[in-house]
Amino acid sequence: MVRIRAQLAKGSEARFISHLDLVRALERALRRTGLPVAYSEGFNPHPKIAFASALPLGATSEAEYFDVIFSEPVLPRQFELALNEQLPLGLRVIEAREVSLRGPALMAAIDVSFWEVAFPAPPGGRATVAAAIERLLGQGACVRVHQAKHGDREIDIRPLIDQIDLVPEGNSPEPAAAERGDGQVRIVMGLAAGARGSVRPEEVVAALADLGGFSVERGDIELKRLAMAAGRGTISPWDV
């Protein structure tokens, strides 16, 4: 048995594919490679694939991590090449490494997720957003109301926010900015993930908008996962 960990990029072509659909697509792509994937026991056996975390619908990512268990030896490079040949447009394995079979599940270890969020600049421009960030980070608590099936639920998202930074204006990738037109504000944030609890990045943007007195339409938020880590940001997913 071999456990291979992979870092997957999800581009804009695949960003509206849900987590469940992504897992199914990966299972099928793996079957097409013909590599000896290990299957779960039981009546309805499934390939042994385990993701670190689910990506919100609509987000792109440079850092989705998943583990696959193989019943026979497979080289990481062989895995990467074979799988990339079978992945649909918008999905690509960036890197793959063999990891210990005895190591913990990614999902249990990962506790921070780093995001880049872009949205149209509100009235007052970047300064408005900068002020909102400052207010949010300065607060001891930030209670948001979650609409759930069985009534609304209040949740304090402040402890789930490690950092929020406004990206300096000169730093935006030029071609993308040109395509989108001017007036984008970009922020980078580190948010809790996994067992620490989690908060959706859009929720943080909504909190910023409320504090800053502006509004952002959901379809106008561009969301990209940049990285994830364990040990409160100190341990790379490869070393978990």
For other proteins, which is the closer residue by CB, 153 or 218?
A: 218
For other proteins, which is the closer residue by CB, 58 or 197?
A: 58
For other proteins, which is the closer residue by CB, 168 or 219?
A: 219
For other proteins, which is the closer residue by CB, 35 or 240?
A: 35
For other proteins, which is the closer residue by CB, 13 or 239?
A: 13
Give CA–CA dist 160/112, Å, rounded: 9
| Alpha-helical regions (H) of the chain | 19-33, 76-86, 106-109, 126-138, 174-180, 201-212
Give CA–CA dist 55/96, Å, rounded: 19
CB of 45 to other proteins, least distance (A): 6
CB of 60 to other proteins, least distance (A): 11
CB of 177 to other proteins, least distance (A): 14
Three-state DSSP at 105 gives: coil
**C-alpha distances in Å from residue 87, one per residue of 32, 65, 168:** 10, 15, 35
CB of 14 to other proteins, least distance (A): 7
Binding site for other proteins (CB under 8 A): 12-14, 16-18, 20-22, 24-25, 27-32, 39, 44-45, 57-58, 86, 88-90, 218-221
Three-state DSSP at 114 gives: strand
| Alpha-helical regions (H) of 50-102 | 76-86
DSSP string, 174-210: HHHHHHH-S-EEEEEEEEE-GGG----HHHHHHHHHH
CB of 104 to other proteins, least distance (A): 28
Q: Which residue has the tokens 């978990």?
A: 240
The candidate with the shortest Cα–Cα distance to 61, out of 97, 4, 22, 105, is 22
CB of 90 to other proteins, least distance (A): 6
Q: Which residue has the tokens 């987590």?
A: 19
For other proteins, which is the closer residue by CB, 89 or 141?
A: 89
